[in-house]
Amino acid sequence: MSVINIKGSDDTPTVVLDKENNIFKISGRSLPEDVVAFYTPILDWLTEYASDPLDKTVFDFQLEYFNTASSKLLLDVLLKLEDINSDGHDVLVRWHYPDDDEDMLDAGAEYAEIVDVPFEQVPYTID
C-alpha cells in the first residue's frame, strides 16, 4: 500500500499515512483553497486501508486551526475510522490540542461525541 506524505504549508496540514510504519497523522493548519480536492486522496487511502487494517490503528490529529470547510472533511476521516472500528478492529483517535486552546479542545470533544471511536484528548504546550 502506498504512503501518503504531504508536507504542510500555511494553508494545508501535514499528512502522513504510512501503514508499514504505523503512522497516521494530520497536523498543522487546514484551510485549503479546495478542501475536497485536498482530502479526497486521504479518504480514498483510508477506504483502501479499511479493507486490510493493522490490528491497532492510532490516528493522531494535531491541528492548530481548521476552517469550517475542513471540519466536514475531518469528520469524513473520523467516519472512515469509525467504520474500521465497527468492523472489529482496534482504533484510537488521539486529539492533540494546545493546552491553552479551549476551542480546539472543544472541537475534539464534539467529534468524540459524533463518532463511535475511542478518543483521547492530549494537551501539549506550544513553545
Domains of the chain by range and CATH? 4-124 (3.30.750)
Would you tell me how many other CB atoms lie within 10 Å of the CB of residue 43? Answer: 15
Averaged pLDDT of the chain: 97
Q: What pLDDT score was predicted for residue 79? A: 98
Tell me the pTM.
0.96
Does residue 22 carry a pLDDT above 80? yes
Does residue 80 carry a pLDDT above 80? yes
- C-alpha distances in angstroms, 46 versus 33, 36, 40, 118, 127? 22, 15, 10, 18, 32
Q: What is the mean predicted confidence (pLDDT) over 6-32?
A: 98
Identify the DSSP state of 11. Answer: S
Query: Which segments of 36-75 are extended strands (E)?
Result: 56-66
Does residue 127 carry a pLDDT above 90? no
Does residue 69 carry a pLDDT above 80? yes
Q: What is the mean predicted confidence (pLDDT) over 54-69?
A: 97
Q: What pLDDT score was predicted for residue 126? A: 78
Angstrom distance (rounded) from CA 4 to CA 34:
18
Q: What is the mean predicted confidence (pLDDT) over 62-86?
A: 97
Does residue 3 carry a pLDDT above 90? yes
